Amino acid sequence: MIPELGHFSLILALALAVMQSGFSFKGASANQPVLMSIGISAARGQFIFSGLAFLSLAYAFYTSDFSVLYVASNSNVALPLQYKLAAIWGGHEGSMLLWAMTLSLWTMAVTLFSRHLPEQFRARLIGTMGLISVGFLVFILFSSNPFDRLIPAAMDGRSLNPLLQDPGMVFHPPVLYMGYVGFSVAFAFAIAALLGGELNPEWARWTRTWTTVAWIFLTVGIAFGSRWAYYELGWGGWWFWDAVENASFMPWLVGTALIHSLAVTEKRDAFKMWTVLLAIFAFSLSLLGTFLVRSGVLTSVHAFASDPTRGLFILIFLGLVIGGALTLFAIRAPSVGLGGKFGVVSRESFLLSNNVVMVVAAGVVMLGTLYPLFLDALGMGKISVGPPYFNLVFVPVMTPAIFMMGLAIFARWKNAELPALMVRLKWAFLVSVVSALIVPSVMGEWKPMVSFGLLMAFWVIASACVSLLDRFKTNSTSLLNTIIDLPKAYLGMIVAHMGVAVFIIGVTLVNGYGKEQDLRMTPGQSVKVDSFTFEFQGISQDTGPNYMTTKGHFIVTHGNGTPFTLEPEKRSYDQDSMPMTEAAINPGLIRDLYVSLGEPLDQGAWAVRIYIKPFVQWIWAGCLMMAAGGILALLDPRYRRRNKDKQGASL
Amino acid sequence: MKFQLKHLVPLSIFLVLLGFLMVGLKLDPHEVPSPLINKPAPLFEQKLMTDANQTFSVGKMRGQVWLLNVWASWCTACRQEHPLLMKMSQELGIPLVGLDYKDTDTEGLAVLNQFGNPYSTLVADVEGRVGIDYGVYGVPETYLIDKAGIIRYKQIGPITEEVLYSTLIPLIKGLQ
């Protein structure tokens, strides 16, 4: 009964989405307030019924209703509750429903917080989002219905892929989807601006807030995923340049460019065409990501449920949405206009270069990701593109962006003097060069790549510090007051940029000084890696809620410190004979100790992998700092003045 | 300002990309061509699982078209393939050699006792050494080897009815 209600809700949601876009567009073109407000009500109704559909599916999982095919294929009785619920998005149908539901949630939020926007603009915005909803709901209803019945019902379900039975599964997909789907707001904004033939700074400010929120979710979602891969896959890596990882990274890069570009459009009324194009790109890359994951055109660790026929639908949808948007761009872009002029050396020019670099970087990632497909399609053989390509190409591309990050903070809008910039930053430059030269030796061994990576990080930190000091100097009140008085947007920028530096430090040091040993260990044996002694005590068997586990016991001693134990596991889930590796990690501010259990060898020995990962946590800390910077920027009162600004905003 | 050609650039790039993705949908990224195709089948000699006094060797198969099927008792996809193998062993009329890959003899034979044995000859590759020579990476895998001992076709994953009738049987007929 409940699954039928869910199915019915989904059909109603589709009908409402059709109304949402139909009434909004009609209302906007005829300038009929009544029609436009019907569009808004329909959008809210769409959210309610998409939400109901989602809750119905959640209920089916909660009650283990195995007469629903999707539930039977992804959950079973023994599955712990949190994974029963996470299994909602464990397969194709459910993840698509999560997609549609997230989109309706964003639409709902847009209807609530866009009252100050001009009515027609708002209607086009909501109408565009409605069209995207229609596409996804049609897709779900006609090719991926999660409410399909299984008659007769199964006695028990097939269970969730053991790889996915992890707390990461509870958070990573919804957060990531919030980010992916959130870019639809910026996309709808771009379409509305093109349709209306006008784009003004007030709308750019409004869009910037939404883009930043989506970007924060995407940043956190990617960081979650990376952290999860680090402890779950058992090879100690945090990024594999896998096709699906890249699919989330490309919108992130373009989204980052978009946030910066919107800043210019908001403050200086410039970069308009570029901003519109980036907004289209960011969401297009989200859709492309969805296509890559769902169609199985590329090999990936994420391709859990791929199906070429569904791929075709998404591809057609992709063609309509992106092709339509870009056609509109080709026709209407000139009407949006270029905007204000600026000098060769100015904050605008630095931000523009940043934008170009980010887009080039996304292009490089896209080329590497799709290259195997291009060659295969041209009949030129099968190849795979791995980390060596990405590492080789990505670092040089990003280097200028990092360098400019330091400069841009100081550059004035419109026109800045290069010599004056040099003078202000000479100390920052000197400090970062000297520390970059010294620090690697302190770490044990001087390596050019480490020194270079650190130079980039220190440069960002030093220039941010100089900028902060300047603010303090010009302010006569106490230090505390100065910090409180700093504009939140400025503070957010500093924190996010520092986050980039922290991230670079983590990546540089873990690549430069990480230690890795593959060993054959018998119980009782101990081994010294770096300054840590690992004693292998033996193996024990245990059972979890729905798995059997083989636990290894290791005692780690370090100098005079208290010894501690690490217990890596190999878990066999009841219905799957392939064992899952659960690495044991002792995390730390300056290093992680990482032990994972391999295969049993002869005479009671085990293959054991021990890693020492210096500063690896800084990678994720850096990502969280970037997200925190975004949150700080959102707290800036400038973004909450909108109701008072209502009069000024209208044309 | 009026319409300019440069504004068509993003759309054109996208259309090219779309074309590639369209073609990509029809291709299977998991299908890796074996470098062994049209190369001599690696030689090996192994005791029969059913009779330790007899041996099987690739060299002795010269002059016949035959199939080498790599399988294991632990492989679920092999169970799916099993009924089709039973049918093939009756209908094809060529030797079907089974290589029990990284498995124990007892477990391997137990499965065949329960479900039936499609193989004309059955050998074991407990350590996976033969598998390395043949580049086995997904079980089941099936190799079609011609009269001169050259590998003519490799199927990764279970043989399907479609592969059997549209690819394997025509190939076998041509080679005979």
> How does strand B96-101 pair with strand B66-71?
parallel
Cβ of A291 within 8 Å of Cβ of B15? The answer is no
Q: Do B18 and A315 touch (CB under 8 A)?
A: yes
Q: Say which residues have a Cβ less than 8 Å from residue A189's Cβ, sequence separation at least 6.
A: A125, A203, A206, A207, A210, A279
Res A94: pLDDT? 92
Chain A nearest CA to B13, separation (Å) = 10
B 65-84 near A (Cβ less than 8 A): 74
| Domain region containing A154 | 1-165
Q: Are residues A152 and A174 in the same domain?
A: no
Among A297, A314, A316, A577, pick the best mutation site for testing chain B contact (most B Cβ within 10 A): A297
Identify the H or E element spanning A428.
helix A418-442
Is the reported ipTM for this assembly greater than 0.85? no
Which phi and psi (to 5°) does residue B140 adopt? -80, 155
Peptide bond into A3 cis (omega under 30): no
Distances in whole angstroms, Cα of residue B22 to Cα of each of A169, A315, A369, A374: 31, 7, 16, 11
A323 closest CB neighbour out of B3, B11, B27: B11
Cβ contact A297–B33 (<8 Å): no
Indicate if A290 and A321 belong to the same structural domain: yes
Of A499, A514, A529, the one marking the end of a domain is A514
The helix or strand, by DSSP H or E, that contains position A326, with its residue range, turns out to be: helix A308-336
Q: What CATH number should be reported for the domain holding residue A58?
A: 1.20.120
User: Which of A107, A133, A165 is the endpoint of a domain?
Assistant: A165
Same structural domain for residues A384 and A255? yes
Closest CB to B10: pick one of A291, A308, A329: A329
Residue from the list A297, A335, A374 with its beta carbon closest to the beta carbon of B25: A297
Q: What are phi and psi of A445, to 5 degrees?
A: -150, 135
Closest CA relative to residue A444, chosen from A509, A528, A517: A509
Q: Which of chain B's residues have a Cβ under 8 Å away from the Cβ of A334? A: 1-4, 7
Q: Which residues of chain B have pLDDT under 70?
A: 1-3, 28-34
A586 and B CB contact within 8 Å = no
Backbone angles phi, psi at A449, to 5 degrees: -65, -35
Bond into B140 cis (ω within 30): yes
Among B3, B14, B20, the residue with its CB nearest the CB of A373 is B20
Distance from CA of B23 to the nearest CA of A (A): 6
Burial category of A95 from C-beta neighbours within 10 Å (exposed 0-12, middle 13-18, buried 19 and up): buried
Give the whole-angstrom CA distance, residue A190 versus residue A213. Answer: 17
Q: Are B88 and B113 a contacting pair, CB within 8 Å? A: no
Determine contact, residues B168/B158, Cβ cutoff 8 Å.
no
Give yes or no: residues A240 and A370 share one domain: yes
Out of A329, A372, A577, name the one closest to residue B29 (CB).
A372
User: Which residues of chain A are within 8 Å of residue B24 when distances are taken between CB atoms?
Assistant: 297-298, 373, 376-377
Same domain, A421 and A536: no
Strand partners, A592: A613
Q: Are A284 and A139 within one domain? A: no
What letter does residue A638 receive in the DSSP assignment? G
Same domain, A256 and A310: yes
In a domain, A237, yes or no: yes
Verify that A350 and A303 share a domain, yes or no: yes
pLDDT for res A301? 55
Element (H, E) at A194: helix A167-196
Chain B residues near residue A333 by CB distance under 8 angstroms: 4, 7
Q: Which strands make up the sheet holding B121-125, listed edge to edge?
A: B121-125, B96-101, B66-71, B141-145, B151-156
CA A469/CA A108 separation, integer angstroms: 43
Tokens of A67: 């007469």
**Type of residue found at A360:** V
Q: Which of residues 46 through 65 in chain A touch B, CB cutoff 8 A? A: none
Report CA torsion sign: A384, A386, A392, A396: positive
pLDDT at B158: 84
Is any Cβ of chain A less than 8 angstroms from the Cβ of B6?
no
Answer yes or no: do A578 and A429 share one domain: no
Residues of A in contact with B22 (CB under 8 A): 315
Q: Please indicate, yes or no, if residue A113 is contained in any of the structural domains.
A: yes
Number of domains in chain A: 4
Instruction: Inspect the interface and report whether the beta carbons of B24 and A373 lie closer than 8 Å.
Output: yes
* pLDDT score for B28: 65
Nearest CA in chain A to B18: A319
Are A282 and A210 within 8 A, CB to CB? no
A377–B27 C-beta distance less than 8 A: yes
Could you tell me which of A129, A254, A115 has the C-alpha nearest to residue A650?
Answer: A115
Q: What is the pLDDT of residue A302?
A: 56
Shared domain for A380 and A242, answered yes or no, is yes
In this predicted structure, what is the pLDDT of residue B140? 87
Nearest residue to A133 (alpha-carbon basis) of A56, A47, A247, A206 = A47
Any chain A CB within 8 A of the CB of B22? yes
The H or E element spanning position A171 is: helix A167-196
pLDDT at A306: 53
User: What is the mean pLDDT of each successive set of 10 residues along chain A, which is 651 residues long?
Assistant: 94 97 95 94 97 97 93 89 91 91 97 91 96 95 91 81 83 93 95 88 88 97 92 80 89 95 85 90 92 72 58 88 94 76 80 90 92 82 79 89 86 75 83 89 86 93 88 69 79 94 95 89 90 91 86 90 90 70 90 89 87 94 96 82 42 34
Look up residue A462 and give its amino acid.
Answer: A
Among B4, B5, B1, B14, CA closest to A197? B1
Q: Please indicate, yes or no, whether residues A492 and A422 belong to a single structural domain of this protein.
A: yes
Residues of A in contact with B3 (CB under 8 A): 330-331, 334
Chain A / chain B CB contacts < 8 angstroms: 76
Considering only CB atoms, B3 lies closest to which of A297, A331, A374, namely A331
Is residue A218 included in any domain, yes or no? yes
DSSP string spanning A233-284?
SSS--S----HHHHHHHHHHHHHHHHHHHHHHHHHHS--HHHHHHHHHHHHH
> Which residues in chain B have their CB less than 8 angstroms from residue A280's CB?
10
What is the pLDDT, as a whole number, of residue A648? 37
* Minimal Cβ distance to A319: which of B7, B18, B23: B18
Q: Is domain B39-175 given the CATH code 3.40.30.10 in the classification?
A: yes
CB of B25 within 8 Å of a chain A CB? The answer is yes
Bridge partners of B101? B125
**Shortest alpha-carbon distance between residue A636 and chain B (Å):** 35
Residue A111: the pLDDT is 95
Residues B81-131 have pLDDT tens digits of 888 898 888 888 889 999 998 888 888 888 888 888 999 889 988 888 888
Across the interface, which of B8, B21, B30 has its CB nearest the CB of A330? B8
Please answer yes or no on whether B3 and A382 come within 8 Å at the CB atom. no
Backbone phi and psi for residue A643, each to the nearest 5 degrees, phi listed first:
-70, -40
Last residue of a domain, one of A449, A483, A514: A514
Mutate to test the interface with B, among A304, A375, A376 (most CBs of B within 10 A): A376
* Amino acid symbol at A494: I
Is the Cβ of A333 closer than 8 Å to some Cβ of chain B? yes
Cα distance between the two ends of chain B = 72
Chain B (124-153) residues lying within 8 Å, Cβ to Cβ, of chain A: none
Mark whether A398 and A268 lie in a shared domain: yes
CB contact under 8 A, B21 and A298: no
Report the alpha-carbon distance of residue A188 to residue A194 in Å, rounded: 10
